[in-house]
A and B are shown apart, each in its own frame.
Chain A
């Protein structure tokens, strides 16, 4: 059974710091991995999607990497800002039929202090 783990559960950093969020999964047979952002009391917003054939994806100050063989993904946030404060979730798709089924990690709650 696929399990997704995110460590740490919470992280607090000063503004301007570069940081890395970690996501690990137990079964390397994935089709893609997606990083989401969730603001308090809100829904999820997709940040980056990495297909299984890709090594990384970039969007602005965000860079996500994928190492299938080791079952790991990282989300790198450059020059963090207070507006980056949120919970970040990773999720993997493991089925080939594209039913929309995702398996989520429990998330890392990030606080960026001014």
Chain B
């Protein structure tokens, strides 16, 4: 298994540009999430999905869109990039484990985004 993969690894955008960060997992996980990591702020949840066709907002969703057309893929779209979106973005996935609490999260290697 490749686990959780993310592309690109690095990206530089100009203010106002749009782009899509790709995330894919080959573990047949129901749950997928996007986090951003900023110095001194830890990781914060942007959006998450509990299955194909179902998404919801996390703690910091403004400026980002997501969709989940397949179990494997969960792309994150920046509609109009702003310098405040300069960050490291991580995608994560896990199994459903209702009632057990044993939902170990698996993280991708991250995408480092700079918005000028």
Contact = CB atoms under 8 A, between A and B. Distances in A.
B71 to A, nearest CB: 14
Interface stretch (A67-75, A76-84, A98-106): A98-106
Interface residues of B, number: 33
Interface in A27-56: 31-32, 34, 36, 41-46, 49, 51-53
A89 interface: yes
Contacts of A106: 40-42
A105 B101 contact: no
A4 B106 CA distance: 20
A31 B48 CA distance: 18
Contacts, number: 80
A107 B33 contact: no
Given A42-B110, A43-B90, A51-B100, A100 B42 contact: no
Contacts of B92: 44, 100
A43 B50 contact: no
Contacts of A99: 31, 33, 48, 50, 56
Interface of B: 4, 31-33, 35, 40-45, 48, 50, 56, 58, 90, 92-94, 96-98, 100-110
